[in-house]
Structure formats: C-alpha cells, structure tokens
Amino acid sequence: KIDLLVESLQKNNIECRPLICGSMNEQPFWYEKYGKDYLPISKNVHDNGLYLPNHHDLTENEIVYVSNIINNIFIPLI
C-alpha cells in the first residue's frame, strides 16, 4: 500500500520520499559487526517509512489535508 500512498501524495502535490537508514539493523556495517536480529517493526519502518512535510510553516489546514490523504488510503484497510 505504500506505493499507493506515494502516488496519492504526489498527485496532490505533496512531497514525500523514503526514509534513509530507517533501521541500523539493516545496515551492512552493523550486521557484519553485530549480526542481524529479528526486528519486524524496525524492518517494516526501514522498508516502508516515508518523510512527509514537516516544517514550522505548516498550517493546521495543510496538516489536515495531508492527514486526510493518508487516512483515505489506510483507514479502509482497518
């Protein structure tokens, strides 16, 4: 569903991009030194996390606008 969310945000002129280095456990320098642990939530964030608009000039209306787009994608899945 993350692809659908990204597409919907982009269609609505909302910039987003994937997280960079979402989980240290997924970084080669880390697991080569310490090994890999089974961290399913961290793995999910690493694979699917997004940066969304986040700055001091966001208005309440803009926050609601972005939230509504996200909710329209994910609430039907609940």
With contact defined as beta carbons under 8 Å apart, do 73 and 4 qualify? yes
Specify the DSSP element, H or E, that contains 33. helix 28-34
Question: What is the per-residue pLDDT across 44-65, written as a single tens digit (0 to 9) for each?
Answer: 999 999 999 999 999 999 999 9
Residue 56 DSSP class: T
With contact defined as beta carbons under 8 Å apart, do 52 and 66 qualify? yes
Question: What is the per-residue pLDDT across 64-76, written as a single tens digit (0 to 9) for each?
Answer: 999 999 999 988 7
Tokens standing for residue 38: 């089974």
